[in-house]
Amino acid sequence: MSKTQEPRRLRPATQLVHAGTMRSGFGEMSEALFLTQGFAYDTAAAAEARFKGEDDGFIYSRYSNPTTRMFEERMMALEGAGDARATASGMAAVWAALQCSVKAGDHVVAALALFGSCRYILETVLGRAGVACTLVNGRDLEAWRAAVRPETKLFFMESPTNPTLEVIDIAAVAEIAHAAGAKLVVDNVFATPLQQKPLQLGADVVVYSATKHIDGQGRCLGGVILSSKEWIDENLHDFFRHTGPSLSPFNAWVLLKGLETLPLRVACQTANAARLADHLAQSPKVSRILYPGRADHPDAAVIARQMTGGSTLLAFEVKGGKAAAFRFCDALQVVKITNNLGDAKSLITHPATTTHKNLAPEARAELGISDGLLRFSAGIEDIEDLMEDVDAALAAA
Ligand SMILES: *Cc1c(COP(=O)(O)O)cnc(C)c1O
C-alpha cells in the first residue's frame, strides 16, 4: 500500500476527493474495498512483531482495515483531527465516545435537547455503570456552570439540536468544561463537518452519524469518532479493539465514496433549505419557522460566530396542530415521510409522534416540540418541484 497525499494543505473539497487514499500495488484509481476479516503474515516472527506494535500493518478488521482507515483519514483531514475510529452506526460512535472515558462515580453534564437514544445511553447505560448525569438547558451557560461537580468528567451536546435546530455556543461551553477539568464531546451531525468545526471551537471529541449527510444517499449505517491522537490512545484505542463497535469495510467504502460528493450535496441541500424556509415563513398557515440561516433565528449571534452555512434542515409549525401537520405530510408527493435526514431525497418528519414520541408531553413542550411541528430535511431535487410540492401541502393543511 502506498499513500499519495499530503492532505492537510488542501482545501475541503479537494481533501474529500483525495485525502487518505492508499493504493495497492495495482495502482487502482477508485479506492479499493478490502472485504477481509484478517491479514496473513509472511512469518511467525512478522506476526509477533505486529502484535508487539513494532510494525504498523493491519492485524484484524475489528481493530482496523485498509478501507476503513482510508475513510477515517479522509474524515481526519476534513475535521483537522489527530486520529479517528469509524463505527458501525452513529449511536455506536456516541456510546463508545462517552463510555470509554468514564468510570463508576464520575459525572456527566449534557444538554437536554438530545436525540432519544443519546439520552438512553446517558441515563440508562451510563447510569447502570454508576455514572451520574445532569441534563441542562444547553443555551443557558450559567446552567452548565451550576451543574459541575468535583467528579464531573464529561460534557456532551449536539448542535444544532434535533428537531428544533437550537444552536449552542460550543466555544463558551468548552471553556466551562475545561475550567472544570472536563472534556467536551459534540455530536455534529446536523451541521455536517463542512458548516461547523467543533474541534477548532474548543471541543475535545466530535462524533458523527455517517448514516446522514456523509452517506447522503440512504444506503448504509455508519459513524465516526474524531479527536486528538492523545485522547484516542488514552481512552478509546483499547476500548474500541475489545468491545468491537467497528464499521464494516463495505460500509466504509460506501461512505468514503459518499465523502467525494459531500460538498456538492450539502451546498445544494442548504440552498434548497434556505429557499424553502423563506417561502414557508411567508405563509399564513405557518406559525413558526426555525432555520439557522435566517436572521430571525433565536441564536443568530452564536450562528454567525460558529457556523459557515445555514444547515440542510429546517423546522416549522403549521397552524392547526397534529391534524394539520398530518394533512401537510400526506399531501406531499416528492417529499417522503421518514425519520432519516441528510439524504439526497427531501424528507419530512413529525417529531411528536415519531422520533420524540417517548418523551412525556411536558418534556416535549419544554423542548418546543409542539404537535404542529415538522422537521424538513432538504434534498437535492429541483427547487421548483419542492416549492410546488410544499405549496400543494400548505393548501391541504
Ligand atoms: C441519526 C443520529 C444519531 C444516530 O445515528 P445512527 O447512525 O442512526 O446510529 C445520533 N445523533 C444525531 C444527532 C442523529 O441525527
pLDDT digits (tens, 9 = 90+) for 239-264: 999 999 999 999 999 999 999 999 99
Distance 281 CA to ligand 1 centre (A): 28
Instruction: Give the single-character DSSP code of 32.
Output: P
Task: For the chain, give the percent of residues with pLDDT over 70.
Answer: 98
Nearest protein CA to atom 12 of ligand 1, as residue: 189
* Cβ of 342 below 6 Å from ligand 1: no
Nearest atom within ligand 1 for CA of residue 162: 13
* Cβ of 91 below 6 Å from ligand 1: yes
Alpha carbon distance 85, 198 (integer Å): 17
pLDDT-derived band at 283, boundaries 50, 70, 90: very high
Q: Are 374 and 338 in contact (CB under 8 A)?
A: no
* Cβ of 389 below 6 Å from ligand 1: no
Distance 327 CA to ligand 1 centre (A): 27
pLDDT-derived band at 111, boundaries 50, 70, 90: very high
Distance 91 CA to ligand 1 centre (A): 6
Q: Cis link prior to 160 (omega < 30° from 0)?
A: yes
State which of 94, 114, 115 you would mutate to test the pocket of ligand 1, scoring each by most atoms of that ligand within 8 A of its C-beta: 115
Mention the CATH class of domain 10-32+60-260.
alpha beta
Strand partners, 315: 290, 375
Note the pLDDT tens digit of each residue in 185-214. 999 999 999 999 999 999 999 999 999 999
Number of Cβ within 10 Å of residue 238's Cβ equals 11
Asked if residue 97 has pLDDT above 50, the reply is yes
pLDDT at 7: 47
* Cβ of 138 below 6 Å from ligand 1: no
pLDDT-derived band at 358, boundaries 50, 70, 90: confident
Residue with cell 417529499: 335
Nearest atom within ligand 1 for CA of residue 94: 10
- φ, ψ dihedrals at 209, nearest 5°: -90, 110
Q: Are 123 and 283 in contact (CB under 8 A)?
A: no
State which of 95, 189, 205, 248 you would mutate to test the pocket of ligand 1, scoring each by most atoms of that ligand within 8 A of its C-beta: 189
Q: 249-260 vs 262-281: helix axis angle to the nearest 10?
A: 70
Fold adopted by 263-396: Aspartate Aminotransferase, domain 1 (3.90.1150)
Q: Are 369 and 354 in contact (CB under 8 A)?
A: no
Amino acid present at 300: A
Asked if residue 350 has pLDDT above 70, the reply is yes
Whole-prediction pTM? 0.96
Average pLDDT rounded to a whole number, residues 280-305:
97
pLDDT at 4: 59
Domain positions in the chain: 10-32+60-260, 263-396
pLDDT-derived band at 138, boundaries 50, 70, 90: very high
pLDDT at 370: 96
pLDDT at 8: 54
Distance 305 CA to ligand 1 centre (A): 25
* Cβ of 293 below 6 Å from ligand 1: no
- φ, ψ dihedrals at 210, nearest 5°: -75, -10
Distance 213 CA to ligand 1 centre (A): 11
Note the pLDDT tens digit of each residue in 165-178. 999 999 999 999 99
User: What is the rounded radius of gyration, in angstroms, for the C-alpha atoms of the chain?
Assistant: 22
Note the pLDDT tens digit of each residue in 16-41. 999 999 999 999 999 999 999 999 99
Mean pLDDT of the chain: 96
* Cβ of 215 below 6 Å from ligand 1: no
Amino acid present at 151: E
Strand partners, 224: 86, 208
Alpha carbon distance 188, 115 (integer Å): 12
* Cβ of 87 below 6 Å from ligand 1: no
DSSP-assigned letters across all residues of 275-298: HHHHHHHT-TTEEEEE-TTSTTST
* Cβ of 223 below 6 Å from ligand 1: yes
C-alpha cell of residue 236: 478509546
Distance 29 CA to ligand 1 centre (A): 32
pLDDT at 116: 84
Average pLDDT rounded to a whole number, residues 269-292:
98
pLDDT at 162: 93
Sheet with 205-209: list strands edge to edge. Answer: 83-87, 223-227, 205-209, 183-187, 152-158, 107-111, 132-136
Residue 41 vs residues 8, 30, 54, 294: alpha-carbon distances, Å: 32, 26, 14, 57
